[in-house]
Structure 1
Amino acid sequence: MILMNMRQLTIFLEVCHHMSITKTARSLYLSQPAISKAIKELETEIDTPLFDRINGKIYLNEEGKLFRLKAKELLKDFEELKNFKCTYEDSTPIRVGVSLTIALKTLPLAIKSFKKKYPETPIQLYAENVEQIQKRLLNGDIDIAFTEDFEQNQLFYLEALSTYKMICVGSANSQWQQKSYLKKGELVNQSFLLRERGSTLRDTFDAFVNKEKLTIQPLLESVNTEILINATKHNLGLTILPAPLAQEDLANHELIEITIEDFNAYSTNYIVTLHGKKKSTKLKNLISCFKEFE
């Protein structure tokens, strides 16, 4: 069985251009019998004559004209596939998962920097907690994640990005101006404004109070750190934050740091991909952008 191939289509289109077997053979550096054979095999394969042969000359018939249009489209698509990297790289989206903490501090600056280098590249962003990001990675919904305290296992490749200290803060316009230290036993008498379970901030703080055999029911629980900060500024209670997120409000004297006895916690942020995933040049540039602003 002879199967239609790109060589036959290329020869066919060249014949259509010259309307001469001799000129086509000369332009493709092939013999005339090779050209004639390729055309005959192509017509046999599709069971349709493409040329009328009259008095030693060839003329493209109606079927041939339609086939020529289709062949041009196919060869164009084939060339695009051969040059897929150059043709489609800019239009291939990068899907990124970002923990809420990094989303607040670093994400806008990193993405702005990346878009200067790759303005045509679509980006899909998901700002979620660690558990949700892990699920997206496993499901293939995202290509890379920038997140804190990710549990390492054989499915993921982790690269350290940065480290944050976790601190407790309260409103600067409150009693904490006079007392900025809490003993562990005093925690149960305070109102806490905390992130949801499954977030690093919440899980770290819960681990600390559980170790001390304390029970704390937060006054406010939210996936939105900005809501917690705003509620803290209005003196609804205390919250736990990564130090970088509190810096500006501490400097502006809207928040004050509260030292908790024996609470000395840090959060490590990671660049996470599925193990074995090859990092493209664009992905490496995206990582550089996040490193620059972390």
Structure 2
Amino acid sequence: MTLKELKIFLELSETQNILEISKKLSITQSAISQSIKSLENKLKEPLFDRIGKKLVLNERGREFKKMTINPYNQLINIQYQFLKEKIAGTIYVATSKTLGTYILPQIIFDYLSKNRNILIKKDIQNSTKIIENIKNGKIDLGLIENEVDDKDIIKVKIKEDELIIVSAQKQKELFIDELKNKKWLLREEGSGTREIFLNHIKGVFDIDIFMEYNEFEEAKTILINNPDTITCVSKEVVKKELKEKKLYEIKIKNLIFKRNMYLIYHKNKTKSELFEDFINFIFDSLKIK
């Protein structure tokens, strides 16, 4: 049964005058009769007695009215609230590690502070998985640190990220191959940070990776406690440690490590007011025009 059928039934249960209901609901008398007939067919029994030209509720019709009037009113109220509150609902977001750990959390916190009817479910995944989940509709929005060229994906540049070489030991500006004998810590295979760094030094020297890590905090602890270790990370990751002089940036001659960060979504994604509002909030937070 439909809300429309219930509405006509409840109106007719109060007023047997089909012409009056026709004018009130702006539908034909024939449409009213068809709606009641459709409802009765679905319930497999009549709800009205046909007395002359009048439709009068019978005993089963009175019972059906008693059972449906409160749920119907609740559904109408839900519909009203849903239409009224456009900025409400749940957003599924997946981000790569740097964005998801150091940039997006504050943005989400600020957004939720202004919008209490919203739930944002965030997961940290690698870029390949995020793109896959965007394409199969499992998430609404992705934020990645890798390039993507896919006809089904809309991408918007949100930030330029600088990768830097850091160590607990302060050093002068060097050529990259002068760091060849350091104990290099690098992210695990598949990491965007690792790929960008290795591509930049390709042909300069073959790096001997002393240790791989998955979590930034793990690498920071090793770097701080072992001055002969070194790594390449996003500047966003070590802002605090650089300020506190626990770690130092090593300037590299003739090399700059940069990458773009993107917001991505499926080209066929329905842009609800909530979706648009959250995206615009991200842009405003990152000062994107």
User: Normalised by the size of structure 1, how large is the TM-score?
Assistant: 0.78
**Alpha carbons of structure 1 residues 184 and 271: separation in structure 2 relative to 1, 3 Å:** same
Aligned counterpart in structure 2 of residue 225 of structure 1, from 200, 204, 216? 216
Specify whether residues 188 and 106 from structure 1 end up closer, same or farther in structure 2 by C-alpha distance, changes over 3 A only: same
Deviations 1:109-151 (A, max 9, x none): 1001211232111211011222222222223221111221232
Partner of 2:10: 13
Q: What secondary structure sits across from 1:206 in the alignment?
A: helix
SS at match of 1:93: strand
User: What SS does the aligned partner of 2:94 have?
Assistant: strand
Give the counterpart of 2:204 among 212, 218, 221. Answer: 212
- Given that 1:147 and 1:271 are in contact with CA atoms closer than 8 Å, whether structure 2 keeps it comes out as yes
Q: After superposition, what is the alpha-carbon deviation per residue over 1:149-195, rounded to whole angstroms, capped at 9, x for unaligned?
A: 23222121111111121101011xxxx33x34444434442112221
What is the correspondence of 1:153-232 to structure 2 with a 5 Å cutoff?
Answer: 153-171=150-168, 176-177=169-170, 179-219=171-211, 221-232=212-223
- 1:252 is matched with 244
Change (3 A) 1:196 1:80: farther
Give, in whole Å, the separation in 1 of the partners of 2:86 and 2:219: 40
Structure 1: distance between partners of 2:63 and 2:263: 53
SS in 2 for 1:268: strand
CA change 1:275–1:11 in 2 (3 A) is: closer
1:124 aligns with 2:121: yes
**Which one is further off, 99-108 or 278-287?**
278-287
Which AA in structure 2 matches 1:216? D
Q: Residue 80 and residue 87 in structure 1: after superposition, are their counterparts in 2 closer, same or farther (change >3 A)?
A: farther
Q: 1:29 aligns with which of 23, 32, 45?
A: 23
Per the alignment, residue 100 of structure 1 pairs with 97
CA 1:247–1:42: 2 relative to 1, 3 Å: closer
Q: Which residues of structure 2 form unaligned runs of 5+?
A: none
Residue by residue over 1:207-262, the C-alpha shift from the partner in whole angstroms, topping out at 9 and shown as x without a partner, is 2343324142232x222112212221112611211123222211211111123444
Which consecutive aligned stretches of 4+ in structure 1 deviate over 6 angstroms post-superposition? 33-36, 53-58
Whole-angstrom distance in 1 between the partners of 2:262 and 2:31: 60
Task: Summarize deviations over 1:256-276 as a string: whole Å, max 9, x none.
Answer: 112344431101111111224
Query: Corresponding residue for 1:149?
Result: 146
- 2:256 is the alignment partner of 1:267: no
Q: 1:257 to 1:13 in 2, by over 3 A?
A: same
* C-alpha RMSD of matched pairs (Å): 3.6
Equivalent residue number for residue 269 of structure 2: 277
2-structure distance, mates of 1:214, 1:8: 74
2-structure distance, mates of 1:35, 1:269: 56
Checking the alignment, whether the CA contact within 8 Å between 1:229 and 1:239 is kept in structure 2 is no
Cα distance change of structure 1 residues 37 and 189 upon mapping to structure 2, 3 Å threshold: closer
Distance 2:202 2:35 in 1: 81
- TM-superposed CA distance for 1:84, in Å, is 8.7
Question: Which deviates further from its counterpart, 150-159 or 76-85?
Answer: 76-85
Q: 1:68 to 1:213 in 2, by over 3 A?
A: same
8 Å CA contact retained: 1:131, 1:199: no
> What fraction of aligned residue pairs are identical, expressed as a percent?
22
Cα 1:55/1:133, change in 2 over 3 Å = closer
TM-score by length of 2: 0.80
C-alpha contact (below 8 Å) 1:138/1:274 kept by paired residues: yes
Residue 74 of structure 1: CA displacement?
A: 7.6
Query: Which structure has the greater CA radius of gyration?
Result: 1
Aligned residues of 2:100 and 2:124 also touching (Cα < 8 A): yes
Q: Is the 8 A contact 1:106 1:290 kept in 2?
A: no
The residue type paired with residue 200 of structure 1 is G
Change (3 A) 1:40 1:85: closer
Unaligned runs of 5+ in 1: none
**Local SS of the residue matching 1:154:** coil
